[in-house]
Amino acid sequence: MLNELAIQTDLVFLGLAEGVTLTGFDAPERIAPFYLDRAVRLVAVKLGARGARLFTSTQREMLPAFPVLLADTVGAGDGFAAGMISGMLDGLALPSCMERGNALGALAVTAQGDQEGLPTREAPTRFLATARILRRSGES
């Protein structure tokens, strides 16, 4: 039933375990074509602390997660989806949408509960600016 609904959408966001359950495939590179071959335009496979993989018919992207102090994983997927979709609505390129998605997912896991860690509109911008500085300086 879930796959019947998913293939009627343009975007599919799922965790690796969900992808395994729904498709029977055990790797993002095999899960994504299951949906792309059925006319889904974009598939994002969330990999938790390892980041996320994004697939379209012409693009393959991997973006690592941001290291944060974990309080609760509830809300990480919602944060990722909110970041991806808000980035798309803002006209960002897909890698930037993924970066925003990973940032919101990271911020979500720093607080207990499913929405307490979701930020204001300005918080991801500050978080990403700090993360970029740390990456350039070699600190993580």
26 belongs to the catalytic site? no
Q: How far is CA 14 from CA 47, 52, 53, 84, 131, in A?
A: 9, 10, 10, 13, 25
Those residues with Cβ within 8 angstroms of residue 29's Cβ, 6 or more apart along the chain or in another chain: 53
> Among the options 26, 72, 78, 114, which is catalytic?
78
With H, G, I as helix, E, B as strand and everything else as coil, classify residue 99. Answer: helix
Interatomic CA distance for residues 122 and 57, integer angstroms: 32
> Quick check: 94 and 56 in contact, CB under 8 A?
yes
Q: Which residues are catalytic?
A: 78
